């Protein structure tokens, strides 16, 4: 397997800093809870919250729609729910990538039912060519082509999350 660098470490760091500044401005004087979606968003979330200059709380959810495959099954399973009550609070769902839109659409609806003050989404990568829903994220790091990517938290069969860049898998 060959990996071609799509987004380098400096490019990612610069964009994460810009997103952090934008989010900080939008959430000044709000009760922010950043919800990281495990496992893929952990690295993005960690870097992003260090760039957000407002107090926040962090919690996690875990879902699955891929299993061992490289394409979504179309069915989202909730594997881990929040530990934090979110009623009346401002929620920022942080996800590594949006492609079909099924996971973020599902999570947004689930969390809306819990009566937060607001819900927005931040994604590192947007793959609009794969969208199966009308879901549009609020904050986007990069829009990328329809290719299978790994690194910076994204995996292939639970490997390659540790790569400091985003790479495209070439056979």
* 99: annotated active-site residue: yes
Question: What is the rounded distance in angstroms from the CA atom of residue 23 to the CA atom of residue 68?
Answer: 33
SS3 assignment, position 80: strand
- DSSP lists the bridge partners of residue 118 as 90
Task: Give me the DSSP letters along 92-147.
Answer: EEEEEEESSSHHHHHHHHHHHTT--SEEEEEEEEE-GGG--S----SEEEEE--S-
Q: Which helix (H) or strand (E) holds 59?
A: strand 56-64
**Catalytic residue (choose from 90, 96, 99, 126):** 99
Positive/negative CA dihedral, 20, 21, 25, 26: negative
In 3D space, the residue among 13, 107, 15 whose CA is nearest the CA of residue 61 turns out to be: 107
Q: Which helix (H) or strand (E) holds 155?
A: none
- Chain center to CA of 25: 20
Active site residues: 99
């Amino acid at each position: 397997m060959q990996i071609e660098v799509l987004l380098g470490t400096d490019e990612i760091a610069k964009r994460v800093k810009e997103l952090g500044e934008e989010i900080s401005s939008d959430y000044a004087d709000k009760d922010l809870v950043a919800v990281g979606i495990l496992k893929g968003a952990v690295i993005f979330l960690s870097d992003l919250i260090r760039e957000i200059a407002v107090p926040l709380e962090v919690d996690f959810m875990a879902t699955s729609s891929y299993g061992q495959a490289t394409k979504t099954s179309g069915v989202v399973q909730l594997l881990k729910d929040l530990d934090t009550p979110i009623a009346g609070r401002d929620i920022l769902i942080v996800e590594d990538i949006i492609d079909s839109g099924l996971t973020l659409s599902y999570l947004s609806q689930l969390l809306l039912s819990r009566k937060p003050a607001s819900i927005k989404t931040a994604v590192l990568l947007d793959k609009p060519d794969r969208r199966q829903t009308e879901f549009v994220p609020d904050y986007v790091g990069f829009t990328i082509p329809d290719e299978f990517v790994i690194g910076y938290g994204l995996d292939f069969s639970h490997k390659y999350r540790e790569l400091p860049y985003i790479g495209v898998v070439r056979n």
